[in-house]
Amino acid sequence: MTKDELKKLMMDRKNASLLLDDKEIDKAFKFCEGYKDFMSKAKTEREINIFAIEAAKKKGFKEFHFGDKVKAGDKIYFDNRGKAVILAVIGTEDIAKGTNITAAHIDSPRLDLKENPLYEQEELALFKTHYYGGIKKYQWTTVPLSLHGVIIKANGEKITVNIGEDDGDPVFVVTDLLPHLAQNQMKRPAPEIIKGEELNILIGANCIKGEDLSNRVKANVLDILNKKYGIVESDLLNAELEAVPTYKPKDVGFDRSMVGAYGHDDKVCAYPELMAILDIKKPKKTAIAVLTDKEETGSDGNTGLNSSYLKYFIEDLAATLGANPRQVFSNSKCLSADVNSAFDPTFPDVFEKANSSFINYGVVVTKFTGSRGKSGTSDANAEFVAEIHHLFDKEKVIWQNGELGRVDLGGGGTVALYMANLNIDTIDVGVPVLSMHAPFEIVSKLDTYMAYKAFYVFQK
Ligand code: MN
Ligand code: MN
């Protein structure tokens, strides 16, 4: 064989910026302007749920309730408690032949307020938190935070809280020790440099005037909350309040090739997935896009994918279209749309290069996740892996393979196994991320656009 012939035998991957022409790079950058706008407006599962439903309604999607009749071409959405949403475009083909599902999660690591969060100590008012998802706790101190969520009042009224995002808003923060006095703290093992019970959010320092009572800073905060929202302290027991980094997404790099933001995991898959199903016209197979909650805590709970809400939705579609739901599940295919860990040149030791994903090398196709001998993975069948690889090649989706780091160094999971457990062919396809689960994560614009393209060609 000649040198050229031998070269053809070897796998050849290239940076997407070398493979795409200027027009397509421009398209990717424009797509990410929309993504950045979305990221600055919708930071939590509840806010993304609202964003997705509003965007879907504009494209003609109608709310679906169990028992509703549907027909080919119908665009529907199912709202699961304001925290997860399923969108679907009914296909022209018999649904018994299967559906094409994409599934991303819309929750991200953050600091949740405890049930009874408010306290005063040495004339400072603070909120106790219980962190949500896997975080390096020390990263979450001295980061400006905003508060998002809902409070249900005694009369049943629901108050929506969003404070810290607008330019005129105050922000909140977890304090950290000055280095001058941190000698002992710095000797703690890294997971305990900041302990869970030290993630306390500073919220006030002024005393209420005129009243001779203890906890006058706390009283002042309650007075402000009462005037603003009409709530009393016990109403905080009926609330879900989440503290997230307050800053807006920013371009990263002189070449503006990347986006830095809070919560790319997994909004960087959720947004392309949403845009893809909104752009689907009249698919042969029913297209379903799931935006789910609770992935970061293991997918349990009725808004997570380990619950039955997606199963009920598909069973109901099958019933109304006269199909056997078991056939629908068994013939369906799913792209589990979640991020992967991009190779970080500063920490090469945790990666095995040939099986890692790289920034700007396109969307990552991951056959299996899990840890310690593939435990907790769905491990896609080679036949289905091939089908997806060939589809992406045919449709000019730039893709790469990638596992989550070296064997036995850790690992992680996605919603893939919950989909696969329904007897659905499932594989992970997502965007590589640097600094995953940190308050400021990094993705590449070209990879993000390739995720959109991947989801679109899978469902169109
Ligand atoms: Mn994720
Ligand atoms: Mn995650």
Q: Residues with Cβ within 5 Å of ion ligand 1?
A: 265-266, 338
Nearest residue to 424 via CA among 326, 344, 349, 347: 326
CA dihedral 334, 337, 340, 342 (to 10 degrees): 120
Q: How far apart are the first and last CA of the chain?
A: 41
Expressed in angstroms and rounded, the spacing between residue 230 Cα and the centre of ligand 1 is: 36
Tell me the per-residue pLDDT of 129-145, one tens digit each, with 9 for 90 and over. 999 999 999 999 999 99
* pLDDT for residue 408: 84
pLDDT band at 373 (very low <50, low <70, confident <90, very high): confident
- The predicted model gives 297-304 an average pLDDT of 96
Dist CA 320 CA 315 (whole Å): 9
* pLDDT for residue 268: 98
Provide the pairing of β-strand 84-89 with 250-252: unpaired
Mean pLDDT of the chain, nearest integer: 96
- Residues of the chain with pLDDT > 90, as a percent, come to 93
Dist CA 339 CA 267 (whole Å): 9
* pLDDT for residue 412: 84
Q: Which residues are within 8 A (CB) of 155 and not within 5 positions of it... i.e. 6 or more apart? A: none
* pLDDT above 90 for 405: no
CA of 266, nearest ligand number: 1
* pLDDT above 90 for 433: yes
* pLDDT above 90 for 211: no
- The predicted model gives 311-329 an average pLDDT of 97
Tell me the per-residue pLDDT of 340-372, one tens digit each, with 9 for 90 and over. 999 999 999 999 999 999 999 999 999 998 888
Listed in order, the ranges of the chain carrying CATH 3.40.630.10 are: 3-108+263-459
Expressed in angstroms and rounded, the spacing between residue 136 Cα and the centre of ligand 1 is: 16
Expressed in angstroms and rounded, the spacing between residue 414 Cα and the centre of ligand 2 is: 8
Expressed in angstroms and rounded, the spacing between residue 62 Cα and the centre of ligand 2 is: 31
Whose tokens are 């299996």? That residue is 368
pLDDT band at 210 (very low <50, low <70, confident <90, very high): confident
Tell me the per-residue pLDDT of 104-123, one tens digit each, with 9 for 90 and over. 999 999 999 999 999 999 99
* pLDDT above 80 for 47: yes
Dist CA 122 CA 429 (whole Å): 50
Dist CA 3 CA 13 (whole Å): 18
Listed in order, the ranges of the chain carrying CATH 2.30.250.10 are: 110-245
Dist CA 58 CA 122 (whole Å): 52
Expressed in angstroms and rounded, the spacing between residue 263 Cα and the centre of ligand 2 is: 9
pLDDT band at 411 (very low <50, low <70, confident <90, very high): confident
* pLDDT for residue 52: 98
- What is the helix (H) or strand (E) element at residue 285, kind and residue range? none
Tell me the per-residue pLDDT of 157-189, one tens digit each, with 9 for 90 and over. 999 999 999 999 999 999 999 999 999 999 999
* pLDDT above 80 for 299: yes
Dist CA 283 CA 203 (whole Å): 51
Q: Which fold has domain 110-245?
A: Aminopeptidase i, Domain 2 (2.30.250)
Nearest residue to 401 via CA among 343, 346, 446, 320: 343
Tell me the per-residue pLDDT of 248-281, one tens digit each, with 9 for 90 and over. 999 999 999 999 999 999 999 999 999 999 999 9
Half-sphere exposure of 49 (CA within 13 A, CB side): 18
Dist CA 198 CA 178 (whole Å): 15
Q: Residues with Cβ within 5 Å of ion ligand 2?
A: 265
* pLDDT for residue 441: 98
CA of 292, nearest ligand number: 1
* pLDDT for residue 376: 85
Q: Which fold has domain 3-108+263-459?
A: Aminopeptidase (3.40.630)
Expressed in angstroms and rounded, the spacing between residue 265 Cα and the centre of ligand 2 is: 5
Give the pair of three-digit tokens for residue 310: 């997606």
The sign of the CA dihedral 75, 457, 317, 78 is negative
Dist CA 281 CA 158 (whole Å): 37
CA of 431, nearest ligand number: 1
Q: Report yes or no: 34 and 268 within 8 Å, Cβ to Cβ.
A: no
Nearest residue to 404 via CA among 36, 18, 134: 134
Q: What are phi and psi of 22, to 5 degrees?
A: -60, -35
- The predicted model gives 439-458 an average pLDDT of 98
Expressed in angstroms and rounded, the spacing between residue 105 Cα and the centre of ligand 1 is: 7
pTM (predicted TM-score): 0.97
CA of 110, nearest ligand number: 2
